[in-house]
Amino acid sequence: MAEFQLVSSEPTLKTKIFEVNHDRAEHPSGAVLDRHVVVNSPSAVMCARRPNGDVLLIRQFRLPIRQYLWELPAGRCDSGEDVLETAKRELIEETGYRAERWTKLLEFFPAPGFASELMTAFLAEDLTEGRSEPEPYELIETRWTAWAEALEMVRNGSIRDAKTIATLLYCQTLGPQA
């Protein structure tokens, strides 16, 4: 099948954490895609797990949806940082935990209809507790949750965050299980 070809990409907004471009692509059939695209850095999500299978969840306020969500710790890459470095830094910042063993689970696009972000999920094990270093605006609650309870939170809608659902279900069905 023939592919769309990008014919223009015009910056329309630049912030500290993302840019918005007005992109236009054309298909040999004559079809045209005309979209505003959020361009942001790669990111990481971490499933921090104890030997007994308990998983570390965080609860934080998400302004775009004006709600608190239960999630796995996550964050975006800083300039020049690879995703594993990001995962290690964000786990410490948000929870205070450090992990000795890291396993890459999967990569996925959280919102490919409008954003370029590529997220990498990691399993973080052999944990050591320390002091968290959140950003001043990050008022984060942490909670160790039994594996079965975390899956039940997905089933009953208590966990509604896509990256968390994807990572937990990946671990349960395809990856390292509790």
Note whether 156 and 80 are within 8 A (CB).
no
Query: Which runs of consecutive H residues, i.e. helices, occur in 39-122?
Result: 83-95
> Among residues 138, 141, 149, 152, which one is catalytic?
138
Which residue do the tokens 């939170």 mark? 153
Q: 104: closest CA among 80, 88, 127?
A: 88
Please indicate whether residue 3 is annotated as part of the active site: no
Note whether 36 and 22 are within 8 A (CB).
yes
Catalytic residues: 138
